[in-house]
Amino acid sequence: MGPKENTTEHKIPAGHIIFDHDGTLVNTEHFPAFLFDGIRELLIELKSKGFELYVWTSRPRRSTLESLGKFDIQQFFSDIYCYDDGLPKPNPMGLERLTPGLQKNKILHIGDSYTDLEGAKAYGIEVVLACWNNADQVNKYHDITDYTALNFIELREVIKGKFYV
C-alpha cells in the first residue's frame, strides 16, 4: 500500500457575503422577532454554492448568538462580529476582522441601514441595501448604495451578477 493520499480538498469560496442581523436576517420590529421568509432557504442555497457567510451587527454578542440559535441558522455563518467585539458600526473594524486579507471585490455586504452602507463604503466593499422590511429605503439611500433589493429574488440576481454563480 502506497503513502496515504491527502483527500482533503481546499475549495475556494465562490465569494464572501456579510449579513446584518436586525432588519436583514431577522425582523426585530415585531414581538416576537421572526426570521424573514426566505432567509433560511437563501442561506442554504448560498452555502451549497460555496459561499462563506458572516454576520456584522450592532447587536451585542450574547443576544446575537441567542437569536441565531433560536432560529437555527448559526451553522451557516463562518464568523460573526458584534457591537461588543470592538468598535461598533459604522466603523469598518468588524468587516476587517471578518475578512482579513481577502480581495474586496470578492466580498459583498447586505444590510438595511445607513450605518451598514457607511461602514461598507469605508471598508471599500460593495453593499446591497436590503429593503424587504422597508421599501421606502430605496428612495432614501439610492444615491449611496451599490445595489438595492426589495425581495430575495432581487437579492439573488445581485449575487448572481456580482459573483457569476
Beta bridge partners of 110: 19, 128
What is the arithmetic mean of pLDDT over 117-143? 93
Q: Is the pLDDT of residue 5 over 60?
A: no
Output the nine-digit C-alpha cell for 136.
Answer: 421606502
What pTM was estimated for this model as a whole?
0.91
DSSP element (H, E) containing 42:
helix 39-48
The model's confidence at residue 9, banded by pLDDT at 50, 70 and 90, is: low
- Cβ neighbors of 154 (< 8 A, separation 6 or more) are 148
**Average pLDDT value over all residues in the chain:** 92
Q: Is the pLDDT of residue 6 over 70?
A: no
Domains of the chain: 16-163 (3.40.50.1000)
Q: What is the pLDDT of residue 13?
A: 83
Q: Is the pLDDT of residue 10 over 70?
A: no
CB 18 within 8 A of CB 106: no
Q: What is the pLDDT of residue 8?
A: 45
User: Exposed (0-12), middle (13-18) or buried (19+): which is 153, by Cβ within 10 Å?
Assistant: exposed
- In the 8-state DSSP scheme, what is residue 100? T
Q: Is the pLDDT of residue 2 over 50?
A: no
Q: What is the pLDDT of residue 138?
A: 87
Q: What is the pLDDT of residue 136?
A: 86
Highest mean pLDDT among 4-18, 34-48, 125-139: 34-48
Output the nine-digit C-alpha cell for 132.
Answer: 424587504
Least-confidence region, from 16-25, 66-75, 136-145: 136-145
Output the nine-digit C-alpha cell for 26.
Answer: 431577522
Q: Is the pLDDT of residue 124 over 60?
A: yes
Q: Is the pLDDT of residue 128 over 90?
A: yes
CB atoms within 10 A of CB 91: 15
Q: What are phi and psi of 21, to 5 degrees?
A: -90, -75
